[in-house]
């Protein structure tokens, strides 16, 4: 009996130690912070969902926000690089929109400080949605009578149908895209059964080899920072390996394209690891097709270490524990135009 009691105490002590270590890490909140000038309301979320799904605000009437950031999937399109109007492709992979509200800036290079700013960018990008001006896109919204009641409910006022309000509505919808209560979250809260033995081992390996130095915080994208002050890291850090040349990781320049500063070359916003198993292919250029190789690439290019097969498998198991619960996304019925089209 004394041996059994000691064994139970040791087991409880190990579990307490594991939870204690995990307590330094953060769970994903159930709600996202919203700016004072755009509090989240059900009316804004409803309108934002419609605008997010509506392709008529692209030049060809074929591309919506959801085309590249598909909320029926992992919040992106599973393509190496995103495809916009006329089948054009850019040079970067579409980042997931799920849990984007927990990032202090948006896009791979952090060029948008807020979700509101981000919502405006793709509309006038010639490769993405291809509209000439934001007001041109807004004129299409105004030309659909059925949208007006939704803007009036969401914002009120004499003239609620503005570019800024459309962006506010899309941002409000995006702040509703949260995937909480993953096995990791439940484990951190104290549920000892939430993660498997391999996932717990992978969590320890993730921390020990240095992954958590960058991928921390509630979204595993770095600690929460002030708006517009994203967590940027140089990628790749160690360039003397075949991954860098084979996958052309340094061809883009990263944040250098925003600031023009050589010191920002190859710096990127630290991406979230939430639901990462759903978001292949990986990295800013979508060059790596599997999560297993992505883990090995990160270890070599950022930490200059070669992971064993067991370490890779354990870290992957832990990353699978970051997949949360996806709230149901009903497809909205979009307002229609009668007897005419607004797409030229």
Q: What HEC string does 228-286 produce?
A: CCCCEEECCCCCCCHHHHHCCCCCCCECHHHHCCHHHCCEEECCCCCCHHHCCCECCCC
SS3 83: strand
SS3 86: helix
**CA–centroid distance for 162 within its chain:** 26
SS3 329: coil
Residue bearing tokens 């080899």: 209
Contact, 258 vs 246, CB < 8 A? no
Burial class (CB in 10 A: 0-12, 13-18, 19+), 62: middle
Residue 44 to residue 204: CA distance in whole angstroms: 41
Contact, 318 vs 205, CB < 8 A? yes
Distances (CA, A) of 16 to 8, 13, 191, 198: 12, 5, 11, 17
Residue 164 to residue 35: CA distance in whole angstroms: 14
Give me the active site residues, please: 128
């Amino acid at each position: 009996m004394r041996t059994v009691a000691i064994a139970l105490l040791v087991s409880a002590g190990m579990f307490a130690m594991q939870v204690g270590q995990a307590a330094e890490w953060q769970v994903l909140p159930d709600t996202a912070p919203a700016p004072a000038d755009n509090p989240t309301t059900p009316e804004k979320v409803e309108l934002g969902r419609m605008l997010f799904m509506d392709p008529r605000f692209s030049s060809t009437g074929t591309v919506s926000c959801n085309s590249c950031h598909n909320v029926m999937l992992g919040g992106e399109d599973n393509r190496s690089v995103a495809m916009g109007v006329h089948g054009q492709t850019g040079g970067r992979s579409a980042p997931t929109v799920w849990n984007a509200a927990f990032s202090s800036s948006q896009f791979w290079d952090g060029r948008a400080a807020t979700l509101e700013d981000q919502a405006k960018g793709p509309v006038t990008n010639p490769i993405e949605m291809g509209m000439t001006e934001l007001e041109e896109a807004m004129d299409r919204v105004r030309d659909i009578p059925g949208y007006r009641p939704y803007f009036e409910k969401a914002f009120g006022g004499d003239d609620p149908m503005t570019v800024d309000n459309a962006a506010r509505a899309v941002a409000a919808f995006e702040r509703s895209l949260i995937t909480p209560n993953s096995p990791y979250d439940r484990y951190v809260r104290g549920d000892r059964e939430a993660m498997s033995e391999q996932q717990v081992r992978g969590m320890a390996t993730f921390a020990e080899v240095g992954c958590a130095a960058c991928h921390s915080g509630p979204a595993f994208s770095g600690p929460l920072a002030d708006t517009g002050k994203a967590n940027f890291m140089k990628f790749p850090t160690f360039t003397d390996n075949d991954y860098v040349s084979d996958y052309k990781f340094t061809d883009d320049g990263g944040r250098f394209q925003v600031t023009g500063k050589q010191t920002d070359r190859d710096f990127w916003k630290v991406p979230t690891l939430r639901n990462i198993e759903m978001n292949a292919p990986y990295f800013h250029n979508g060059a790596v097709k599997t999560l297993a190789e992505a883990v090995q690439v990160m270890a070599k290019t950022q930490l200059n270490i070669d992971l064993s097969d067991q370490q890779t498998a354990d870290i992957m198991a832990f990353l699978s524990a970051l997949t949360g619960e996806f709230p149901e996304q009903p497809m909205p019925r979009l307002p229609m135009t009668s007897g005419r089209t607004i797409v030229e």
